[in-house]
Structure 1
Amino acid sequence: MKKLGSVVVCTITAIGIGIIGAPTASAGCQGLWTPWGGGQRCDGPIDANGFFQRCETGGAFGFNTPQQCYQVDANNLGNSQPWIAP
């Protein structure tokens, strides 16, 4: 039973770290965070050629994935989500 208690305490601690370390949404960003995980997507300004940089992060139970950034064509979004205005 003592081992189970330690697992519960470790899990609660990991969840707490995830909530405390979660970035807040700001202009140009959308995010969703729960005790179980979440993520954030941020879009940069659209340049003269119609492209913008999109960066995404995610995580679960206090473990975050590395930020991934890529270029998106604002004139041809395909299956991508619409641009998030800053």
Structure 2
Amino acid sequence: MKKLGSLVVCAITAMGIGVISAPAAQAGCQGLWTPWGGGQRCDDPIDANGFFQRCDTGGAFGFSTPPQCYQVDANNLGNNQPWIGP
């Protein structure tokens, strides 16, 4: 029973850390954070060639994934969501 109590305390601590360390939303970003997880998508400004860099992050229970960044053609979005402007 003591192990179960320790596990519960660890889970609550991890959730608390996730809430405390969640980054604030900024211009050019959209996201949703809860104590159980969430994510954020940020777009850089569109460059002279019509491209922008998009970075997606996510996480659950206080553990974050590294940002996944890629180039998007603003003139041909294909299956991508529209640009998130600052």
Q: Same fold (TM over 0.5)?
A: yes
The 3-state SS of whatever aligns with 2:31 is strand
Query: 1:1-86 counterparts in 2 under 5 A?
Result: 1-86=1-86
Cα separation, 1, equivalents of 2:60 and 2:77: 28
The 3-state SS of whatever aligns with 2:24 is coil
Cα separation, 2, equivalents of 1:56 and 1:33: 13
5+ residue gaps, structure 2, are none
Count of residue correspondences: 86
Moved over 6 A (4+): none
Cα separation, 1, equivalents of 2:61 and 2:2: 22
The 3-state SS of whatever aligns with 1:33 is strand
Residue 4 of structure 1 and its aligned partner are, at CA, apart by: 1.1
TM-score, structure 2 length as denominator?
0.95
TM-score, structure 1 length as denominator?
0.95
Cα separation, 2, equivalents of 1:20 and 1:57: 16
Percent identical residues: 85
Q: Is the 8 A contact 1:24 1:31 kept in 2?
A: no
CA RMSD of aligned residues (A): 0.7
